Amino acid sequence: MTGCGSRQQVEASDSIELLEPVSAAANTEAAAYRNIYEYKVLAGTVYPYIREYSFTQDVVLTKYEKAPGDRISKGDLLISADISSIEQQIKETEEKIEQINDDYNTAVEEMEKNIQEEKNQKENEEEETEQDKLNERGWELEKNHRYELYTLDISYYTDRLEALKKKKTAYCLTSGMNGVIVSAGSYMPGTYIAADTPLIAVADESQKILKCEYVSKSDVAKCEDLYAVIDGKRYEVTYQPYDQSVYEKITTEGNVAYSSFVIEDPNNEVEQGDFAVLAEIYSRVEQVLSIPKSAVHKDAKGAYVYCVVNGESKYTQVKTGKDDGTYIEIIDGLKEGDLVLLSENNLPGDNTAEVKRGDFSSEFEGSAFIAYPISDSVINPVSYGTMYFTEYQVELFQTVKAGDVIAKVHVENDEAELLEKQLQLQRQTERMADAVEAGESENLLAGRQKTIDKLKNTIMEMQQDADTVTITAQTDGIIFWLADLKAEDEIEQGAAIAMIAESSNCFLTVQNENQQLNYGNTVQVEYNDLNQVKCQTEGKVVTSGAAGLTAGLKSEAAYIKLPQEVLDVIVENTLQGNTDYYRNSQFEVRTEIRKMSNVLLIPKQAVKEKNGNTYVYIKNSDGTVTAQSFIAGGSNQTEYWVLEGLEEGMTICLE
C-alpha cells in the first residue's frame, strides 16, 4: 500500500484474464457506501428589480437629469429632450387660436353693429319694407355661417393644440416608480436618439432576485431540490421563466438571456450585489454502494468489473444504477469492501488536511478614474440675426462656474427684417390711434393692443440679440469638449460650441469587463488628498451588472460613488484649476468578491475533477481511504468551498 490509504495498483486493461495474478502495485479501490449526486451549480448575483426607460418617439437628447445612485420618486424627470420644435408648433397654434377668436369676435361685432343700424333706421320708417326684411335675414344668415366656420376652425386647432401638448410630455422621460438610478447611457447632449432606445434604468431595491446564466423550464422541472446559497446560508428561491416571445427576441437579436429566481429572505439578511450560488440538484442518492465508473466495463452479457480475490483478478457481472460521472451505483454483484481493478492510476498522496469552516472570497483590484456623467451643452442662444465666432475664452479640461464667458462672438442683425417690424409697429400704432378716436369697442381695441405688444417684444428681442458679444456657461463644471471653430465661422441657431461636465455629479469609473462588481457592492479606495497624502475611504458601486440590463445599457465599466468629503477634495482640486488632477489622477480600488461566510473549506490540491464533478479521498479512522463526491460551490487559487457532501472534521488526502 502506498499513499494515504490501503489501495493496490496495477496497469489496468479491458483484456485482463480471469484469475490472473494481480501485482502488488495494482490500482484498486474498494466498493463503499457514498452519496451520488447529479447536479449543476451556477454562480450568480443578487439584483434588484430593474425597469429601463426609453422615449416612445425619435428625439434629440437635451440632458440626463439624474445620475447613477440618485434616489428618485415616481414622476421625477429622468431625461429631457429638445422640445424647441414642438414648442414653436404650440406657440403658432396658440397664436392661430387667438387670431381665429379675434377675427370671429371682430366680425360678429361688425355684423351686430350693422344689424343695430338697420334696426335704428327702421324705427324712423313708417313701414318695414320687403328689402328691410331681406337685409335682416341676410345678416342673420351671415352671422350663423360665420359661427359654423368658427366652430370648425376652433375645434380643429384646439384639438391640434391638445395633441401637441400631449406630444410635448413625451419629450420628458419620467419615472413610473420610486427607486434608485442604476444605469444611464453615455449619450451626449444633442445626440439623435431613435424611439425605444434604452437610456436609463431605475431599480426597486425591496425586491431581491438571483440572476445567473440561463436555466430552462425543463431543467427546473427536473430538480429534486433547488436553492441558493448566499454568504454561506441556504435560501429558497422561486423561478421566474421568460415569456417565450421575450426569450426568442433576446436570443434572435444575439443577446444573452439570464435567468431570474426570486429569493425568499424573511429576515432581510440578503444585500443587493451579494454573490450567490444556485444549486440545481437533479438527483441525490445517499449512502449507496458504489465504485469508480472507470472500473465498469460492458460486453454482450452487460456490465462487469474485475474483482481482486486472493490476489487474482476475477470477471464479475454487476448491475448498475445512477452515476455522477465519476462514481456509479452498484445494485447487485458486489458487497462493501470488494476490491475492483481501475483502468487508471490516480492515487492520493501521503499528506492530509482537515475539512474546516471558514470564510471564502476572491480579490478584485483595479485602477479607477474620475468621471462626470452628466453634461450640459453651451449653445448659440440668439433667435434673430446671424452669429459669428470670435475666440474661445476657455481651454479643454478647464473648470468653469455658471456665468463664466466661454466664447466671444458678434451678431449681425437682419436689418431688412428689423425695419419691416418697425414699420409694422408704426402702422399698427397709427391705426390704434384712429380706432380710439372713432370710438371702437374695447374688444377690438384690445386685439389691436396685443398686436402692438407682440411687435414691440419682437423688436426688443432682435435688438438684444444684436447686442450679444459673449456666450456664457449655465452650470459649474469642467470643459470636456469644444467645437472646432475659427474666427468668423458662422454659428447656427441652437448649435453647441462646448460641453460642460457637471462637477456636482462626480464618480469613479473602473473597468468591470468580467462583471465582478455589481450594484450595492462596497469597495476600498485609495487616493491622494489636497496635500498629495495617501488616504483610504469606502465607496459604493451604484451601477448594475450586465445580467440586470438589456444590451443597450450594458457596460464594461462600473461607477463608484464616494463619500461627500472625498468628493469635495476632488471637486476642490478641479475647481482650483488643477486640470492634471482631473486628467491624470488614479484611484486604486480593491474589494472582496464572491464572498461566502462560515462554509466548509478544503485545499485545492485535495480536489479531483472529472466530467464536471468534484471528489476527494477521505482517510477513514481505520486508515483506509474512500473516494467521496461532493458538490462544490466554487473555488479560488487556494481552496474550494463545499455545498454538500462533506462534513466538518473529515480528514482528506492531498495530491
Model confidence pLDDT, tens digit, residues 55-93:
999 999 999 999 999 999 999 999 999 888 898 899 999
The predicted-structure confidence for 431-444, as pLDDT tens digits, reads as follows: 888 888 888 778 77
In this structure, the number of other CB atoms found within 10 A of the CB of residue 565 comes to 8
Q: What is the DSSP string of 258-304?
A: EEEEEE--TT----TT-EEEEEEEEEEEEEEEEEEGGG-EEETTEEE
Round to whole Å and give the CA distance between 511 and 509.
Answer: 7
**Would you say 624 and 4 are in contact if contact means Cβ atoms under 8 Å apart?**
no
Return d(Cα 388, Cα 365) in angstroms, integer: 50
161 backbone dihedrals φ, ψ, rounded to 5°:
-65, -45
Are 66 and 80 in contact by the 8 Å Cβ rule? The answer is no
What pLDDT is recorded for position 573?
65
Q: What is the pLDDT of residues 19-63, one digit of tens each?
A: 445 544 458 888 988 888 889 999 999 999 999 999 999 999 999
Q: What is the pLDDT of residues 580-590, one digit of tens each?
A: 555 556 789 99
Pairwise CA distance, residues 359 & 592, whole Å: 11
Contacts of residue 419, defined as CB under 8 A and 6 or more positions apart, other chains included, come to none
Could you give the CA distance from residue 634 to residue 638 in angstroms, rounded to a whole number? 11
How far is the C-alpha of 53 from the C-alpha of 64, rounded, in Å?
12
Q: What is the widest separation between alpha-carbon atoms in the chain?
A: 151
- pLDDT score for 9: 36
Please compute the mean of the pLDDT values over residues 406-411 and round it to a whole number. Answer: 96
Give the chain's mean pLDDT.
Answer: 87
Which of 240, 212, 201, 248 has the alpha carbon at shortest distance from 554?
201
- Under DSSP, the state recorded for 171 is T
Indicate the SS3 state at residue 140. Answer: helix
Closest CA to 580 of 367, 369, 419: 369
Query: Cell 448566499 identifies what position?
Result: 230
What does the pLDDT read at residue 184? Answer: 95
Residue 204 has pLDDT above 60, yes or no: yes
Cα torsion 442, 447, 450, 456 to 10°: value is -100
Half-sphere exposure of 545 (CA within 13 A, CB side): 26
Q: What is the tens place of the pLDDT at every residue in 352-396?
A: 999 999 999 999 999 998 888 888 899 999 989 999 999 999 998
Give the pLDDT mean for 192-205: 96
Place of cell 459649474: 476
Point out the least confidently predicted range of 132-136, 248-252, 350-354, 569-573: 132-136
Encode 60-92: b = buried (16+ Cβ within 10 Å), e = exposed.
bbbbbbbbbbbebeeebebbbbbbeebeebbee
CA distance 527 to 508: 11
| pLDDT of amino acid 130 | 63
CB 591 within 8 A of CB 518: no
Q: Looking at this protein, which amino acid is placed at residue 158?
A: T
Q: What phi-psi label fits residue 137: left (phi over 0), alpha (psi between -120 and 50 degrees) or beta?
A: alpha
C-alpha cell at 291: 465504485
State how far the alpha carbon of 279 is from the alpha carbons of 40, 214, 402, 435, 616, in Å.
6, 13, 56, 89, 20
pLDDT for the residue 160? 93
Contact 560, 366 (CB under 8 A): no
Residues 6+ away with beta carbon under 8 Å from 614: 607, 608, 629, 630, 631, 632, 640
For the segment 507-532, what is each residue's pLDDT rounded down to a tens digit? 999 999 899 999 999 999 998 776 77
Residue 414 pLDDT grade (very low, low, confident, very high; cuts 50, 70, 90): confident
- If you average pLDDT over residues 450-478, what whole number do you get? 91
How many angstroms separate the CA atoms of 181 and 179, rounded? 7
In terms of Cα–Cα distance, which of 160, 206, 193, 153 is closest to 46?
206
pLDDT > 90 in the chain, percent? 56
